[in-house]
Amino acid sequence: MAAEDPIPRTVEWRDGAVRLIDQRELPGRLQFLDCRTVDGLCEAISSLAVRGAPALGAAGAYGVALACRLDADAAGDGGRAASAATVARAAAEAADRLIATRPTAVNLAWGARRVLVAAEAAAAGAAAGAAGGGGAEAVARAALEEAERLAEQDVADNRALGRHGAALVPDGAQVLTHCNAGALATAGFGTALAVVRAAIDAGKRIQVIACETRPFLQGARLTAWELKKDRIPVTLITDNMAGHLMQRERVSCVIVGTDRTAANGDVANKIGTYPLAVLAHRHAIPFYVAAPLSSIDFACPNGDKIPIEERPVREVTHVLGRQIAPSGIRVLNPAFDVTPNELVTAIVTERGIARQPLGRTLRRLVEGAPAKPERKAEARRMRARRR
């Protein structure tokens, strides 16, 4: 793999706009989308032009910075002068709108709120006599600087996560993954695919099995595209082939990302992840989750409390614009499912690996203490699965 990532930044600030790779166009063409309004960015998020929890965190962060920039540059209705306070209010309004677009992905709210805090702190710090254009500019500048820091930190965290996870993947492994948890799902480098990339950088021979991931085909369209760009061997399968491959011992481990992980280690990820965890458990195959700490919601006690987004039914009844189901039928389209923590072998973060019991070891990682893997208990669980 080339030292420099061949995939451009998924989300970045460019010439006063939030520039995205328009993932709706892949794999047919690599096209960029410049969002110059908060409305435009909200639409891009809702329509999955940008998706993936860490990428949404960066998009939310840049979206709040965009709102600040727009309010500072264009004074608003009636030709009023922008002030630090009005820019901070614009930031708060934008954060609320952005967060509402995708309720399951905790990173979106995390990124938007982090920049909002920076904007409000800059507004509060503006001297009373500096209210006006100078104060407004300071708030806009602080918001953008915080968004840039968040995006850069995401890439660094993903690389660290990958290095930790690489130790879990044996040489010659066949890694099965679901949806897209690569560079396209982050500000750069990926989460689940970061583990694969880091293992290959360490000299291991790794092949990836990518589930197509109905209904939006992120595995077929995005993961396969990424891996081909990186020259990493990939085999595409339909979602219902995974059990057969596990039964035939053609899967070494499963590595997926997460849109929100609860405090107890329950994992919300793209719909279809839970059945893979059940199958992996049945066949004694390790099931790993790559989760930046920004994706772990310690305010959410368990998976039952994670809101599950319901997507438009057209995503199920149509494929690439062509109708494949009869009109007038009932359709369900939950975007995510929740994998219970007992089916998760380990959660890989930028600070290390959390093993069972996940609720305890995840908390240790956040607090800065090394997670103490209970390897004997884990070995007993793996032996029990084989019986």
The proportion of the chain whose per-residue pLDDT surpasses 70, expressed as a percent, equals: 90
Question: How far apart (Å, rounded) are the C-alpha atoms in residues 52 and 217?
Answer: 13
Q: Residues 349-358: what's their mean pLDDT?
A: 97
Quick one: which of 114, 64, 69, 73 has its CA closest to 91?
64
Write down the pTM of the prediction: 0.91
- Answer whether residue 3 shows pLDDT above 90: no
77 contact partners, CB below 8 Å, separation of at least 6: none
pLDDT over 90 at 78, yes or no: no
Cα-atom radius of gyration of the chain, to the nearest Å?
21
| Helix axis angle, 53-73 to 84-99, nearest 10° | 150
- String of DSSP letters for 229-260: HTT--EEEE-GGGHHHHHHTT--SEEEE--SE
Residue range 338-351: mean pLDDT, rounded? 98
Indicate the length of the chain as a whole number.
Answer: 387
Measured CA to CA, the distance from residue 136 to residue 78 in angstroms comes to 17
Instruction: Work out the average pLDDT over 210-224.
Output: 97
Per-chain mean pLDDT for the chain:
92
| Tens digit of each residue's pLDDT (9 = 90 or more) over 145-199 | 999 999 999 999 999 999 999 999 999 999 999 999 999 999 999 999 999 999 9
For residue 88 the two structure tokens come to: 């901070």
The pLDDT value given to residue 125: 84
Spatial distance between the Cα atoms of 158 and 78, rounded to a whole number of angstroms: 45
Burial of 317 (0-12, 13-18, 19+ CB in 10 A): middle
Task: Give dist(CA 104, CA 336) in Å, integer.
Answer: 8
Q: Determine the pLDDT at residue 372.
A: 54
Q: Is the peptide bond before 357 cis (omega within 30 degrees of 0)?
A: yes
Residue found under tokens 């930028």: 350
Question: Which among 202, 188, 242 is positioned nearest to 219, based on CA atoms?
Answer: 242
Res 168: pLDDT:
98
The whole-number average pLDDT for the span 334-350 is: 98
Catalytic residue among 259, 266, 297, 337: 259
| Catalytic status, residue 259 | yes
**What CA–CA distance (Å, rounded) separates 317 from 315?**
6
Residue 131 has pLDDT above 60, yes or no: no
| Position 130 pLDDT exceeds 70 | no
Q: Which residues pair with 352 in a beta bridge?
A: 349
Which one is predicted more confidently, 60 or 132? 60
Q: Residue 370: pLDDT band by 50, 70, 90 thresholds?
A: low
The confidence score (pLDDT) of residue 64 equals 98
Q: What integer pLDDT is reported at residue 128 of this predicted model? A: 46
Q: Which helix (H) or strand (E) holds 20?
A: strand 17-21
As a whole number of angstroms, the distance between CA 227 and CA 239 comes to 18
The pLDDT of 7-22, averaged and rounded, is 97
**Single-letter amino acid code for the residue at 165:** G
Q: What is the pLDDT of residues 289-311, one digit of tens each?
A: 999 999 999 999 999 999 999 99
pLDDT in tens, 21-71: 999 999 999 999 999 999 999 999 999 999 999 999 999 999 999 999 999
